[in-house]
Structure 1
Amino acid sequence: MRHRKYPFIAGFLFVPLALYLIFVIWPYLQTFGYSFTDWQGQSQTMNFIGIDNYKALFSDSVFMTALGHNLLFLVFVPVVTILLALFFAFMLNVGGRGKSGGVKGVTGSPVYKVLFFLPQVLSVAILAVLFGAVYRSDQSGLLNGVLIKLHLVTAANPIEWLNDPNLVLWCILAILVWWWVGFYLVLFSAAMQSIPKDIYEAALLDGAGRSQTFFRVTLPLLWDSMQTAWVYLSIVAMDVFALVSTLTPGTGYGGGPDHHSEVMATDLMRNFQFFGKSGYACAMGVIILLLTLILSAITLRVSRRERIEF
């Protein structure tokens, strides 16, 4: 009986594994192969050119600028999102006052969780429309309208949020943080609710304050959740194509003004669709994949520590 179960299990795994190999692994292998050719996309003819595409990438000023922007997102998106989500989750679960020694959330915490999570149910298309109105460069834009009412700017000279080279990247960063904080707030809240309240009460009886409770009790017990959040947010930081392409000016797929919001994905799509340099674009895709895998592995290795049982 023991040996008969293996063909039974293999029968269930065969179809999903075959589909995964055909629709996921095989396109990756094809992309890797095309990156060594001069393929132009619509043509079936291609010539093997070795690593010329990869050499050209690192002398391409636009690609190097886009790489720098992605690295900026890799630093700020996980750090800012996780810090804000941790703060709000702590306040909503442990930051209130009451008869239970302060081990409860602030008043109305279930409502706040729903409100914080709401942005996560919005699609990228809705986000683009929403923040297109927020960042409008005239007095009809939400931000400019508020600033004009407060007499911080004039109606004649509103702020060009998405057309200002010094502001456009930070505007995209603000959208990403606003979009993802609610999701990780809920994730950290679920992890905090699994921590026995006896631990918090013991810390409070020993004289621990709010900050000591957070850094010495909550943070160590949430380390696994934070590690997972960091990896996924790193992937988010590498994949901001939809927001950049829909919100920013530029020649096909955004990236403007003058490549100041360019990311690797927008440069890839421009080379593939507009310039017909498909083999070159495939090399960019391989670099994005390798960079994502390497950074995820480094994050998991650096943040690894002994599991705390409770």
Structure 2
Amino acid sequence: MRWRGGGGAGGFSGAKARTYGFVFSFLLVPLVLYVVFVIGPYAQAFYISLTNWKGISATPTFVGMENFTRLLGDEVFWAAVRHHGLLLLALPLVTIAVALFFAFLLNIGGGRRGRTAGVPGSKFYRVVYFFPQVLAVAVVGVLFQAVYRPDGTGVLNGLLALAGIDPVGWLIEPDLALWSIMAVLVWQLVGFYVVLFSAGMSAIPQDVFEAAALDGAGRFRLFFGITLPLIWDTIQVGWVYLGIAAFDCFALVQVLSVDRGGPDNATTVLPLEIWRTAFTFSKFGYASAMGVALFFLTITFAALSLRVTRRERIEL
């Protein structure tokens, strides 16, 4: 057998080049589409935010940082930012807590005598919990308009009337309106995270739970000592997704709120203000400045959340 020097290296380089070319050919079209339909609009929004474009003229006037300076003194903008802050605190906490509770019951909390299993009918409950997720946001909004109707014909007020309690203006009282919309967000989102956390729990070996249960660990210990640490990465992802959802709740606020963000801007959010500023007042430059601010708020939240919630990965 004769060794042909140099052929192996050349053959390896050729195979490697062909592999990269094959991979690049598959990535080229998605990359081009991403640049055109995602990066391109972002870049355009950054440029428009530095102009006073009204949406009509072909050559907008460059105004520099004037739009961002106006944002600093815009009370409606800061009201929307405060509402996002409240949503960022409450929406992930409540949704994740409820979803973890339901997922634990559906996968682990129903077992007896050292065995882990879901509660009876857990497959049916999974479908029931996930059902709101398949409904369009507009449909959910219309449904809860009937639930929150301020007179006695509303579902909630009808139940309160049975207990002798006067009707409550769930969506027309400034102190209640945002909390009422937030409750609808939790109701709609919790089913997806039940499924997400259930998938994470099902990936944990059953031997771990059974060994802990045989050692006398109760449901409280099984959840906080074993389940929670082992699905922490999934919870972290869910937290970031819910934070982004808190910044992107335009449709539900549009449908449910009084006078689009009312009463008295008690429920307004940045996506709604961007839409109203652009398409009602034709101030596309100022609306783009709000969009840029929303972009940086979202990126900052995601980066901080991943940083703060980072923990060492537990390997089984």
Once the two structures are superposed, what CA deviation does each residue of 1:90-111 show, in whole Å capped at 9, x if it has no partner? Answer: 1111111435x24111111111
Question: What is the letter of the counterpart of residue 150 of structure 2?
Answer: S
Corresponding residue SS for 2:73 = coil
Which residue of structure 2 lines up, in the alignment, with residue 148 of structure 1? Answer: 161
For the 8 Å contact 1:95–1:102, the answer to whether it is kept is no
Which residue of structure 1 lines up, in the alignment, with residue 169 of structure 2? Answer: 160
Which residue of structure 1 lines up, in the alignment, with residue 224 of structure 2? Answer: 215
Question: What is the letter of the counterpart of residue 50 of structure 1?
Answer: G
Q: In the aligned structure 1, how far is the partner of 2:101 from the partner of 2:314?
A: 21
Asked whether 1:178 is paired with 2:184, we answer no
Asked whether 1:28 is paired with 2:34, we answer no
In the alignment, which of 262, 268, 285 is matched to residue 262 of structure 1?
A: 268
Asked whether 1:118 is paired with 2:131, we answer yes
Question: What is the letter of the counterpart of residue 218 of structure 1?
Answer: T
Which residue of structure 1 lines up, in the alignment, with residue 151 of structure 2? Answer: 138
- Report how many aligned residue pairs link the two structures: 302
Shift of 1:44: 1.9
Which residue of structure 1 lines up, in the alignment, with residue 78 of structure 2? Answer: 64
Which residue of structure 2 lines up, in the alignment, with residue 13 of structure 1? Answer: 27
Q: 1:175-254 maps to which residues of 2 (within 5 A)?
A: 175-250=184-259, 254=260
Structure 1: segments with no counterpart, 5+ residues: none
Larger-Rg structure: 2
For the 8 Å contact 1:91–1:105, the answer to whether it is kept is yes
Deviates more, 1:195-204 or 1:232-241: 195-204
Once the two structures are superposed, what CA deviation does each residue of 1:112-157 show, in whole Å capped at 9, x if it has no partner? Answer: 111111111100111011111111111111111111122122xxxx
Identity across matched positions, percent: 52
Shift of 1:196: 1.1
Q: In the aligned structure 2, how far is the partner of 1:203 from the partner of 1:152?
A: 48
In the alignment, which of 301, 307, 310 is matched to residue 304 of structure 1?
A: 310
Q: In the aligned structure 1, how far is the partner of 2:276 from the partner of 2:170?
A: 23
Shift of 1:14: 1.6
Asked whether 1:275 is paired with 2:288, we answer no
Shift of 1:277: 1.2
Q: Which runs of 4+ in 1 moved over 4 A?
A: none
Corresponding residue SS for 1:262 = coil
Corresponding residue SS for 1:63 = helix
Asked whether 1:77 is paired with 2:86, we answer no
TM-score (normalizing by structure 2)? 0.93
Corresponding residue SS for 2:242 = helix
Corresponding residue SS for 1:308 = coil
Asked whether 1:52 is paired with 2:58, we answer no
Structure 2: segments with no counterpart, 5+ residues: 1-14
Shift of 1:73: 0.5
Shift of 1:285: 0.3
Q: RMSD in angstroms over aligned alpha carbons?
A: 1.1
